[in-house]
Amino acid sequence: MSTAIDAVPNAAPRGRNKGVLILIAVLLLLFAAAGASAWYLGIIGGGRNGATRGAEAPAAEARLEPAMESKVAFVDMPDMLVNLTSSDRRLHFLKTRFALEFGNEQDGERIKDATPRILDAVQLYLRALSVDEVGGSEGMQRLKDELKARINLIIAPAQIQDVLFKELLVQ
């Protein structure tokens, strides 16, 4: 008789354990689904917009739209090879290829029409430079600024926004 009494109390805890395990598994699945939904909607990191969060996403997109509206275009200038001035008897050369950045179609047309004058002014300026003047990042920045100023004088009232070097080789 003692064996029948021992079997009955042991059966009840096993049924409760299965119910608790099933409840925990269901809760875990619900939490995982809620977390995945929150991540996808952007409430907690990630989501469709990358790092943006839920209600902030439309505001971030609105801030980007004006920047996208400003159209930027480029005109490629032909490759140039000029000799640089030098104090020693060696010949030094500068080979460059660059593009001009501008903001509207009228400026682009003006740049294309003035390309022969631009090339002439750029070559005259580059030939007057020495190897030391074009070396390093400071020399390159000075060169960009000077070319931009000279080109803007030629194409005025149009303006270029930047000179973008594609290649700059000093030998």
Q: Which residues, other chains included, contact 61 with Cβ-Cβ below 8 Å and sequence gap of 6+?
A: 49
Res. 52: pLDDT tops 50: no
Q: What is the pLDDT of residues 1-42, one digit of tens each?
A: 555 555 555 555 556 788 888 888 888 888 888 887 777 777
Containing domain of residue 31, as a range? 2-68
Q: Does residue 160 share a domain with residue 86?
A: yes
The rounded distance, in Å, linking the Cα atoms of 46 and 43 is 8
Q: Within this chain, do residues 80 and 61 fall inside the same structural domain, yes or no?
A: no
Q: What is the pTM of this model?
A: 0.58
pLDDT number for residue 98: 95
- We report the CATH number of the domain holding residue 116 as 3.30.479
- Domain finish residue from 11, 39, 68: 68
Q: Do 93 and 109 sit in the same domain of this protein? A: yes
Q: Are residues 78 and 160 in the same domain?
A: yes
**Which is more confident, 48 or 123?**
123
**DSSP classification of residue 8:** H
